[in-house]
Amino acid sequence: MSKDKTSKEPKLKSMEEPLVKFKNVQKSYDGEILVVKDFNLDVAPGEFVTMLGPSGSGKTTCLMMLAGFEPTTNGTIYLKGKPINNVPPHKRGIGMVFQNYALFPHMTVAENLSFPLEVRKMGKTEREAKVNRALDMVQLGEFGQRRPMQLSGGQQQRVAVARSLVFDPDLVLMDEPLGALDKNLREQMQYEIKHLHESLGLTVVYVTHDQTEALTMSNRIAVFNDGVVLQCSSPEDLYEKPENSFVANFIGENNRLMGTVEAIKGNIATVKTDSGDVVVATKVNVGKVGDRATLSLRPERIIVAPKKGKTPNTYSAKVEELIYHGDHIRTRFSVCGHDDFIVKIPNSIDNVDLKKGKQVDIGWMSEDCLALDG
C-alpha cells in the first residue's frame, strides 16, 4: 500500500534510481510467524528515511536484513540496482551505527576509526588523514588516543557515527543510536546527525521508536506495525495527513471519535458519532456508507467558543480538567460522548476564561477532522 504512495512522494526524485530497494521482502525466524510481512521501500540517494514503529514491529529486522546480518526469507533487497541477498555483510560497504555503539573497547578511538580503512588495505598516511578528518567532523579531534570507555556517552555516540562514515559508505544505517542518551543530549545529537546528513549528502536509514526523533530528522518516515508498513511519507504528511487511524494515533497527540459513515460527498464524509452527533470530516480512509469510521482531531486544531457559523462542526462541551503547561493550557472536555477530549488552548490574554465544570462550545473545521478506518 505504501508503494503507490511513495511514488507520489515529492522528496523522491523519481527519475533517479533508488539507492536501496526492498522488494516484497518477508522475514520469518521460526517458519510460523512472519515478522516482516511484505516490505517494499525505495530509498533515494541523499535521503534520510526513518523506520518508526513500536518494539517488535519488524523495523530493526528490516535494518538487519539490509546490513546483511539476517537473511531474507523471501523477496529481494537491491543496493544500487543490484540484488544483495547473497552478499555477505563485509562486502556490502554499508556504514552502521549500533544501538550500543559497538565501539571496540580494546582499541583507541583512532584505531576504531582506522579499522574499516585497514581492512580495506588503505595506506597509513591516507588512513591517518581520513581518521583525523572524521574525528574533526564530530568535534573529537583531541580524543583519538583515548579508549572508548574513557569517553562520555555523547562522545562515544559521535565516535560511532564517525566510524560509520570514515570509509565513505554509500549508505549509513542507524539502529536507535540515541536510545542510551539523556533527553538534552539526545536532542543535541539529533541536530548534529541531521546536519551531518545535510552537509555530507548522506543516505541514511534510521530506526527508532521515538516519533519526535523521527519527525525531527527524517525526509521520510515509514511507520511500522506488526510487520507491515502502514504509511511512508514526509513528517508533515504523516502528521497532517495520516492515512489510517494507527498512524494518526502513533504520530503526535490525537483525539478519536468513533462513528458510522452517514454520507460521502466528494472528499467530505459525514459521520454520525456513537453519541449521535453528526460530524463533517475530510474523507481519507473510509469505506462506503454504513462502515465504521474513526474521526481524528489534533488537539491544537480545536477552536474554543468559535464564532457562530465559522466552524461546520460545533458542539457543546463541558470542561472536565485544566492542566497548566505554561505556553498552553491543556484542557480536557467531555464532548460527543467522549470524556477525554483534549484541547490545547494557547496561553494568551484574549482567551476565554475556562473553569472546571463550565459548559462551553467547541468546534473545528472539516479539513482538520480526518475520517479514517474504524
Partner 1 sequence: MSDTSITNSQELLLTNDGVPLKVSLRKSLRRTKIRSFLLILPPLLFLLLMFVTPIGSLLSRSVDDIAINKVFPQTFAQYELWEDKSQLPSEEMFAAVVNDIRVTIKVKDDEGIDIGKNLLGRSGTRMTYEYSGWKSLISKTIKSALKVDKKSKEEVKPFIWEAPFKDKMIKRDKRWAKVEFWQSLGAMKDPYTMGYYLNAVDLKFDANKNIIQKEEYLKIYNTIWIRTLQVSLMVTIFCLLLAYPVAYLLATLPMKTSNLLMICVLMPFWTSLLVRIVAWMIMLQQNGVVNDTLMYILPCFEGMVNLPFFGATNIDLCFSDEDRLPMMYNFTGTIIVMTQVLLPFMILPIYSVMKGIPPSYMKAAQNLGATPTRAFIRVYMPQSVPGIGAGCILVFIVAIGYYITPELVGGKDGIMIGNFVAREMQRTLNWGLAAAMGAILLAAVLVLYWAYDRLIGLDNLKMG
Would you tell me which residues interact with partner 1 (CB under 8 A)? Answer: 67-69, 88-96, 98-100, 102, 104-106, 115-116, 119-120, 163, 167
Nearer to partner 1 by Cβ, of 88 and 266: the residue is 88
Nearer to partner 1 by Cβ, of 82 and 106: the residue is 106
**What is the spatial distance between Cα 190 and Cα 268, in angstroms, rounded to a whole number?**
39
CB of 101 to partner 1, least distance (A): 8
Nearer to partner 1 by Cβ, of 166 and 293: the residue is 166
**What is the spatial distance between Cα 295 and Cα 366, in angstroms, rounded to a whole number?**
11
Report the Cα 181 to chain-centroid distance in Å.
18
Nearer to partner 1 by Cβ, of 18 and 68: the residue is 68
CB of 177 to partner 1, least distance (A): 12
Listed in sequence order, the residues at least 6 apart from 299 whose beta carbon sits closer than 8 Å to its beta carbon are: 253, 254, 255, 330, 342, 343, 344
What is the C-alpha R_g of the chain? 24
Nearer to partner 1 by Cβ, of 41 and 94: the residue is 94
Backbone angles phi, psi at 48, to 5 degrees: -110, 100
CB of 169 to partner 1, least distance (A): 9
**What is the spatial distance between Cα 172 and Cα 202, in angstroms, rounded to a whole number?**
7
Query: Alpha carbon of 94 to those of 60, 111, 320: distances in Å?
Result: 15, 19, 53
Question: Which residue's C-alpha cell is 523506520?
Answer: 51
* Beta-carbon-side half-sphere exposure of residue 35 (alpha carbons within 13 Å): 20
CB of 283 to partner 1, least distance (A): 46
Q: Where does 100-182 have alpha helices with state H?
A: 109-119, 124-137, 153-165
Question: Which residue's C-alpha cell is 482567551?
Answer: 351
For the chain, how many helices (H) and strands (E)?
9, 20
CB of 120 to partner 1, least distance (A): 6
Assess contact for 95 and 164: CB atoms under 8 A.
yes
Nearer to partner 1 by Cβ, of 1 and 119: the residue is 119
CB of 151 to partner 1, least distance (A): 16
Question: Which residue's C-alpha cell is 521520510?
Answer: 220
- Mapped onto helix, strand or coil, the DSSP state of residue 248 is helix
82-83/74-79 β-pairing:
antiparallel
Nearer to partner 1 by Cβ, of 174 and 228: the residue is 174
CB of 33 to partner 1, least distance (A): 18
Nearer to partner 1 by Cβ, of 200 and 268: the residue is 200
